[in-house]
Structure 1
Amino acid sequence: MKTAIVTDSSADLSREDAESLGIFVARMPLTIDGEDFLEEEGISREAFIEAMKNGATVSTSQPNLFNTGTLFKNLLETHDQVLYLPISSKLSGTYQTACILAEEFGGRVVVVDTLAVSYPLLYVTLRAKELAESGVPLVEIKQNIESNSFMFASLIPESIEYLKRGGRIKPAAAAVANLLKIMPILSVTDGEIDLLDKVRTHKKALKKGVSYVVEDRNPDDYDWAVLSGDAPEEDMLEVIAEVERILGRSVVRRNIYPIVLAHTGPGTIAVTCMKKF
């Protein structure tokens, strides 16, 4: 059976990469100073980052229901079935909405709760594509991913300013943190983003963020990546070198795209591991 593999913008997948990988993307809306765009269609990653740096107020929302339904309908004209792997249900209502929408297609659309975002979501999507191409039924792929996939990431923002703008840190707390040069480290695991630690200075946060991900894990059990939200190249190279030194192997380098950057800010670095399954 011919299967269309679909994810959403939070998988940090450019239009060009999506086409080359044979993956379809439900693009998520971005709002910049009250003006609406579609990620990777109405505005580029570079323009979005520049807007944030210039102080723009930004927000994100789940893919438009009508647009997603139209995407499914069009794909089912050329494919037998659709497997949709959206952002974690704990970060967005996209999964729940898609499940309701899927009921309109008589079992030809299967929706997976990935509990993932950013590159780990792309990782799971690519694994799903491999399984589908080998003939595994979509329901089994869904069960496999929801039962066996695991990811952990540390997110190290370059500045707490964007966390303050997004409401993750209160203004008074942000002022104290700036005064004392305290930097947060966020974790992404089990589909949620939480505060993992607070340390003095950004350099220490980068080093601590690496250790949280790579220590006490068997390198052979995971795939590894370091992600950049337009972070300084010096910082990226330093983090990649430290991760590769500890693991004794090379790691994937990817960019973070606007859906995630809207909440963490440009300059963010993420270190992530995805359990092989």
Structure 2
Amino acid sequence: MNVKIMADSASDLADKQYQQYDIEIASLTVELDGEVFMDGKNITPKSVYDAMRNGKKPKTSQVSPQSFKDIFTSYAEKKQSLVYIAFSSELSGTYQTAKMMENEVKEIYPDADLHVIDSKCASIGYGLVVLRIAKMAKDGATVQEIIDMAAYHAKHMEHIFTVDDLEYLYRGGRVSKTAAFVGSLLKIKPILHVDNGKLIPLEKIRGSKKVLGRMIQIMQQRGVDLKNQVIGISHGDDLPRAQQLAEMVQETTGCKEIIIEMVGSAIGSHSGPGTLALFFLNDTYQ
């Protein structure tokens, strides 16, 4: 493989997918009960969700500068091309840190073929972008072809999601305390999306049964060529509802492939158990 693809653990893909395409992974960290864990390595999402259900409040941190410097240096020394597509810069400082380390390494190795790209995506929406360019790299695509495709998919990737409890979004500063309290009291389920990397509330739905149907409607309104897409679903330890949503997607679109994964420990620490997200392209699949 001429071009190495790198992602971070906020892409929420399964280990088998990282291994299949030989993707380099950098881990965000999760602090729980005074211990610091590496997302995707020595802590499971379910353990984070169980802790949150018991009132614990995990904290997360971006990938360390030294981790990036070590990885980038190793590829510079090998003179191998590396394309790192990062977790949205609007949701984490990981991209900015990576850019700083890229510049530092290039001061020492000015010919290093290192590229850091802001995905403006999260969870499986981010993971789908990673998979697309990893397949291209495996098939021998050039660095520029990979960068162009990453930019295209990042720009057109829709994130439509809901959360089970507004309290978790309140803790993360996404909704006010009053909105969280009233929403929980009235059983209001928010539907949110990601716009240019930022988390934006879209609608409020009364009652959880209506939420999945409305998510499908939004996908039909925004999606293009859904039948030929790989569609992503991620969940906060609620596989039955994720599978229910997948069945609705399949019935509605007849799409060729649906990827279902659990929201990872880092993102799940902010969205909470019961999160359900749907990812697709809003333009023709490439």
* TM-score normalized by the length of structure 2: 0.87
Quick check: 147-156 or 133-142, which moved more? 133-142
Match of 2:190 in 1: 184
| 2:165 is aligned with 1:137 | no
Match of 1:85 in 2: 85
Among candidates 151, 160, 167, match of residue 157 of structure 2: 151
Report the CA distance shift for 1:131/1:232 in structure 2 as closer, same or farther (over 3 A). closer
Match of 1:116 in 2: 121
Residue 78 of structure 1 deviates from its aligned partner by 4.9
Among candidates 256, 264, 268, match of residue 261 of structure 1: 268
CA separation in 1, counterparts of 2:144 and 2:175? 40
Number of residue pairs matched by the alignment: 276
Tell whether the 8 Å contact from 1:111 to 1:142 is kept in structure 2 after alignment.
no
> Which whole-Å deviations, capped at 9, do the CAs of 1:8-30 have from their partners, x for residues lacking one?
01100344442233111000011
> Which whole-Å deviations, capped at 9, do the CAs of 1:17-48 have from their partners, x for residues lacking one?
42233111000011224432211223222222
Residue 216 of structure 1 deviates from its aligned partner by 5.2
Tell whether the 8 Å contact from 1:181 to 1:201 is kept in structure 2 after alignment.
yes
Residue 79 of structure 1 deviates from its aligned partner by 5.9
Alignment of structure 1 residues 1-277 onto 2, 5 Å: 2-78=2-78, 80-103=80-103, 104-105=105-106, 106=110, 107-147=112-152, 149=154, 150-215=156-221, 217-218=223-224, 219-220=226-227, 222-231=229-238, 233=240, 235-249=241-255, 251-274=258-281, 275=283, 276-277=285-286
CA separation in 1, counterparts of 2:227 and 2:141? 25
Report the CA distance shift for 1:87/1:216 in structure 2 as closer, same or farther (over 3 A). closer
> What SS does the corresponding residue of 2:118 show, helix, strand or coil?
coil
Residue 62 of structure 1 deviates from its aligned partner by 1.4
Tell whether the 8 Å contact from 2:21 to 2:134 is kept in structure 1 after alignment.
no
Quick check: 90-99 or 133-142, which moved more? 133-142
Task: Report the identity percentage.
Answer: 29
The one-letter amino acid of 1:155's match is F
> What SS does the corresponding residue of 1:56 show, helix, strand or coil?
coil
> What SS does the corresponding residue of 2:89 show, helix, strand or coil?
coil
Report the CA distance shift for 1:72/1:209 in structure 2 as closer, same or farther (over 3 A). same
CA separation in 2, counterparts of 1:220 and 1:44? 33
The one-letter amino acid of 1:62's match is Q
> What SS does the corresponding residue of 1:41 show, helix, strand or coil?
coil
Gapped runs of 5+ residues in structure 2? none
Gapped runs of 5+ residues in structure 1? none
Report the CA distance shift for 1:98/1:153 in structure 2 as closer, same or farther (over 3 A). same
CA separation in 1, counterparts of 2:28 and 2:222? 36
Residue 196 of structure 1 deviates from its aligned partner by 0.8
> What SS does the corresponding residue of 1:40 show, helix, strand or coil?
coil
The one-letter amino acid of 2:96's match is Q
CA separation in 2, counterparts of 1:118 and 1:139? 24
> What SS does the corresponding residue of 1:249 show, helix, strand or coil?
coil
* TM-score normalized by the length of structure 1: 0.89
> Which whole-Å deviations, capped at 9, do the CAs of 1:185-204 have from their partners, x for residues lacking one?
11124322110110111221
Tell whether the 8 Å contact from 1:88 to 1:95 is kept in structure 2 after alignment.
yes
Report the CA distance shift for 1:79/1:17 in structure 2 as closer, same or farther (over 3 A). farther
Report the CA distance shift for 1:91/1:258 in structure 2 as closer, same or farther (over 3 A). same
Residue 142 of structure 1 deviates from its aligned partner by 1.9
Residue 184 of structure 1 deviates from its aligned partner by 0.8
Residue 220 of structure 1 deviates from its aligned partner by 4.0
